[in-house]
Amino acid sequence: MFQGIYPILYAFFDASGRVDRKLMRRQVEGCLRHQPQGLAVLGLATEVGKLQTNERRQLLEWVGEDVGGRVPLAVTVAEPSVDGQVEMVRAAKAAGASWVILQPPPVAGLAEIEYLRFFGAVAERAELPVAIQNAAQYIGIGLSNAGLKTLNRNHPNISLLKGEAPANAIRSLIEETEGVFRVFNGRGGLELTDNFRAGCVGMIPAPECFEVQVKVYEAMQAGDEAEAERLYRSILPLITFLMASIETFLCYGKRLTARRLGIAEVHQRQPSQQPTPFGLEMLARLSKELGPL
């Protein structure tokens, strides 16, 4: 029964541009100290599109080793073919993943039935619970609520959903799919409390302020909505700044996470957005209440 806050890990690179083993371990340990309900890796925050296949596999193995089964691990699978996704699902299982999140293949403009066939072909060979990342806003490809319901009916192991949509749209999705999915939303935690009211079982933000989001989730679970709203308001300006775009949160969110982990310098893999002095000033002001992870 997967639920709660799953911070999705950033990819930290060393000065030569390689994924940095020590920094990835520091990030995992920093997250686990604050008792999230799970961890996630290899999604948009992990810059999966900038990683070669061997790097994705290596990073997956490192994170699986460092998590060591202490919390559930969700792994995004973004390979462009059915066989590639099946192989990555198997690698995720071998690394200790609890469930996988399938991204659509990078071929836009097809009839929806083609994406349903793609996901169904992967799910038929998957030995883990499967989620679909339905993120047309960020990926450019999304499924209708009717299409999602068809996927679950034909492939019951597709039982989770990673949304990237406003809480009102998520509520409609849950109603129109008759509650067959356990729905996690993303968007950095925007509309956090209303996502839980809409029926989300969890959220998958990046790590920069996730421990406050864990407290929000716990307050909502305890029925203390006033405390949940107070906590959410304390981080909302920061989340709003970071979620201006994917590139903005990769640029500034990763730097904030690095600062909180005691990492002195962030090395970016090009192409990437560069921070501005004013942007860094905003980041410092909006995150001044956040201490070390």
Question: Which residue in 285, 247, 284, 251 sits closest to 268, CA to CA?
Answer: 251
Query: pLDDT tens for residues 8-52?
Result: 999 999 999 999 999 999 999 999 999 999 999 999 999 999 999
Question: Which residue in 63, 85, 58, 86 sits closest to 74, CA to CA?
Answer: 63
pLDDT score at 1: 80
Query: pLDDT tens for residues 61-107?
Result: 999 999 999 999 999 999 999 999 999 999 999 999 999 999 999 99
- What is the reported pTM? 0.96
Q: Do strands 202-203 and 99-102 pair parallel, antiparallel, or not at all (unpaired)?
A: unpaired
- CB burial class (10 A; 0-12, 13-18, 19+) of residue 223? exposed
Query: pLDDT tens for residues 1-10?
Result: 899 999 999 9
pLDDT score at 232: 98
Question: Which residue in 184, 124, 177, 129 sits closest to 155, CA to CA?
Answer: 124
**Predicted confidence band at 137 (pLDDT cuts at 50, 70, 90)?**
confident
pLDDT score at 135: 86
pLDDT score at 203: 98
pLDDT score at 11: 98
Residue with tokens 């002095």, as numbered in its chain: 277
Q: Is residue 279 scored above 90 in pLDDT?
A: yes
CA angle 192, 208, 198 (to 5 degrees): 10
pLDDT score at 98: 98
Sequence-ordered list of residues with C-beta below 8 angstroms from that of 2, at least 6 positions apart, any chain: 37, 38, 72, 74, 98, 99, 129, 160, 182, 184, 201, 202
Tell me the β-bridge partners of 135: none
In the predicted model, what is the mean pLDDT of residues 211-235?
98
Percentage of residues in the chain having pLDDT higher than 70 = 100
Question: Which residue in 281, 286, 208, 287 sits closest to 249, CA to CA?
Answer: 208
**Predicted confidence band at 136 (pLDDT cuts at 50, 70, 90)?**
confident
Structural domains of the chain in order of their starting residue, each with its CATH number: 4-208 (3.20.20.70)
Quote the CA–CA distance of 160 and 119 in Å, as a whole number.
Answer: 13
In the predicted model, what is the mean pLDDT of residues 181-185?
97
Alpha-helix runs per DSSP H in the chain: 21-32, 53-67, 82-94, 112-124, 136-139, 145-154, 167-176, 192-198, 210-221, 225-242, 246-248, 254-261, 277-286
pLDDT score at 56: 96
pLDDT score at 138: 87
Give the chain's mean pLDDT.
97
Q: Are 128 and 92 in contact (CB under 8 A)?
A: yes
pLDDT score at 290: 97
Q: Is residue 255 scored above 90 in pLDDT?
A: yes
